[in-house]
């Protein structure tokens, strides 16, 4: 993971369908604010991310 930017909005996406995760990431990246987006496809990845 990269260093978290100060003041950035942080998202943690958890879904076992990669197409859903990719779509949400695409929409979030299109927003006009600074954000950090992390994603997980299963519970183990989710727990490792927090």
The ranges assigned to domains in the chain are 9-49
Q: How far apart are CA 28 and CA 47, in angstroms?
A: 22
- Quick one: pLDDT at residue 4? 56
Whole-angstrom CA distances from 36 to 7, 8 are: 10, 6
For 48, the token pair is 């490792």
Q: Which residue has the higher pLDDT, 43 or 6?
A: 43
Summarised one tens digit per residue, pLDDT across range 4-41 is 556 789 999 999 999 999 999 999 999 888 889 999 99
Q: How far apart are CA 44 and CA 27, in angstroms?
A: 25
Characterise 14 by phi-psi region: left (phi > 0), alpha (psi -120 to 50), beta (else).
beta
- Quick one: pLDDT at residue 24? 94
């Amino acid at each position: 993971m990269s260093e978290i930017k100060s003041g950035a909005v942080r998202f943690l996406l958890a879904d076992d369908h990669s197409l859903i995760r990719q779509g949400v990431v695409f929409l979030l990246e299109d927003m006009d604010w600074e954000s950090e987006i992390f994603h997980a496809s299963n519970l183990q990845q989710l727990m490792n991310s927090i």
